[in-house]
């Protein structure tokens, strides 16, 4: 499945917020809630989901499960998150919960084998910030102007009367800081810093959290990065002259350095530092002829258009898709899409 053309341009209405609050409030005392987030969850997916789950627990909801599509592995940087005890593997997720809440997924295609949980008899509530969100919930809280899904989650918790505690705050802080690139991207508005201030006021320690989430990786991953960065290619003529820099990592690279696939998520950051290229790309092998592709732009290119054209989705300045074939075939398809001149500018970079 591919993600649809951008479907949502404005944030939730008061009616949407009221419907979401009502969906939570009308849960029976023994009501069962299933929280889901997108496959290969990042900090925003996990942080929003677990932070909201902890908030529901404070509201007195007892039966809460959190899950994401297989593989059920939580990346090492997020293994210190509060609320991890809510997690169950997808196969163990309640088949018919009273309420399903979905975090940071623009379409059901990002929910893999959990997509059927949204179609059950219970209410489906969607919290997200992708402009490409297809509106697949019964109630959709989708704010394309939000820097992270955690911004939407914090607002809903506030409307439910849940006070922030350190556990909730740490989850939402990880979500907010990962999706804003540690408060560096243009989506980092005054409101984002105000939210960060509310989170920090609970006593959480940003230094410890950042070290765990951003600044810690196994030595094997450091060596792997060296190798993969060493084979990066710069193509100044690509992307209508704005430049493309790209590299790739194979399953064999991971095996040789004894590393798990999620360590490669951080690889786009050193690649996108390349001053000579507007577009950066990392092609990560996930199967014999299958690759997870990360695309970033500094502003001149709408990489979400490229990703959507190739079966994926994302934001204007941060997008991705699943590529099939050889690395060269995948990169050639990207080159071809990047050769299409795109209109307009903009300032959106979120994960």
| Footprint of ligand AMP (CB under 6 A) | 3, 106, 110, 130, 294, 312-314, 318-322, 351
- Residue whose Cβ sits closest to Mn ion: 44
179: contact with Mn ion by CB under 5 A = yes
Q: Which segment (98-106, 240-248, 296-304, 320-328) binds Mn ion by CB under 5 A?
A: 98-106
- SS3 per-residue string spanning the chain: CCCCCCCCCCCCCHHHHHHHHHHHHCCCCCCEEEEEECCCCCHHHHHHHHHHHHHHHHCCCCEEEEECCCCCCCCHHHCCCCCHHHECCHHHCCCCCCEEEEECCCCHHHHHHHHHHHCCCCEEEEEECCCCCCCCCCEEEECCCCCCHHHHHHHHHHHCCCCCCHHHHHHHHHHHHHHCCCCCCCCCCHHHHHHHHHHHCCCCCHHHHHHHHCCCCCHHHHHHHHHHHHCCEEECCCCCCCCEEEEEECHHHHHHCCCCHHHHHHHHHHHHCCCCCCEEEEEEEEECCEEEEEEEECCCCCHHHHHHHCCCEECCCEEEEEEECCHHHHHHHHHHHHCCCCCCCCCCCCC
Q: Which is nearer to ligand AMP, 167 or 181 (CB)?
A: 181
Query: Does residue 337 bind Mn ion (CB under 5 A)?
Result: no
From 20, 45, 108, 308, residue interacting with Mn ion (rule: CB under 5 A)? 45
Each residue 132-151 as x (binds Mn ion by CB under 5 A) or -, in order, gives: -----------------x--
Partner that binds at residue 144, options ligand AMP, Mn ion, none, CB closer than 5 to 8 Å by kind: none
68 touches which of Mn ion, ligand AMP, none (CB within 5 to 8 A by kind)?
Answer: none
Q: Which is nearer to ligand AMP, 110 or 335 (CB)?
A: 110
Smaller CB separation from Mn ion, 103 or 246:
103
Residue 253 or 290: the one with the smaller Cβ distance to ligand AMP is: 290
Considering CB distances under 5 to 8 angstroms, the limit depending on partner class, which of Mn ion, ligand AMP, none binds residue 312?
A: ligand AMP
Q: Which is nearer to ligand AMP, 106 or 125 (CB)?
A: 106
Q: Give the interface segment with Mn ion, choosing from 102-110, 256-264, 275-283, 291-299 (CB under 5 A).
A: 102-110
Least distance CB 286 / ligand AMP (angstroms): 10
């Amino acid at each position: 499945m591919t993600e649809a053309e951008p479907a949502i341009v404005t944030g939730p209405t008061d009616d949407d917020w009221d419907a979401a609050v009502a969906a939570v409030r009308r849960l029976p005392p023994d009501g069962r809630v299933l929280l889901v987030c997108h496959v290969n969850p990042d900090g925003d997916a996990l942080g929003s989901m677990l932070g909201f789950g902890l908030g529901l627990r404070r509201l007195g909801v007892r039966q809460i499960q959190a899950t994401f599509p297989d593989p059920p592995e939580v990346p090492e940087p997020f293994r210190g998150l509060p609320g991890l005890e809510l997690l169950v593997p997808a196969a163990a997720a309640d088949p018919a919960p009273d309420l399903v809440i979905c975090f940071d997924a623009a379409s059901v295609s990002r929910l893999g084998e959990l997509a059927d949980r949204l179609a059950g008899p219970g209410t489906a509530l969607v919290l997200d910030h992708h402009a490409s969100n297809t509106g697949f919930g019964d109630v959709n809280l989708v704010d394309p102007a939000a820097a992270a899904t955690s911004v939407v989650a914090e607002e809903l918790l506030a409307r439910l009367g849940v006070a922030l505690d350190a556990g909730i705050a740490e989850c939402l802080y990880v979500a907010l800081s990962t999706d804003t690139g540690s408060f560096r991207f243009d989506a980092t508005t005054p409101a984002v810093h105000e939210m960060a201030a509310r989170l920090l006021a609970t006593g959480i320690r940003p230094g410890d959290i950042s070290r765990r989430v951003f600044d810690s990786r196994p030595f094997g991953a450091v060596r792997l990065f060296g190798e993969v960065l060493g084979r990066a290619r710069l193509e100044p003529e690509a992307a209508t002259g704005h430049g493309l820099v790209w590299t790739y990592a194979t399953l064999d690279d991971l095996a040789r350095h004894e590393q798990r696939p999620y360590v490669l998520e951080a690889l786009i950051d050193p690649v996108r530092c390349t001053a000579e290229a507007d577009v950066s790309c990392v092609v990560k092998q996930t199967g014999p002829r299958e690759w997870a592709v990360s695309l970033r732009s500094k502003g001149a290119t709408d990489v979400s258009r490229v990703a959507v054209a190739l079966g994926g989705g994302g934001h204007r300045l941060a997008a991705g898709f699943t590529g099939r074939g050889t690395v060269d075939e995948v990169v050639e398809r990207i080159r071809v899409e990047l050769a299409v001149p795109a209109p307009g500018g903009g300032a959106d970079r979120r994960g």
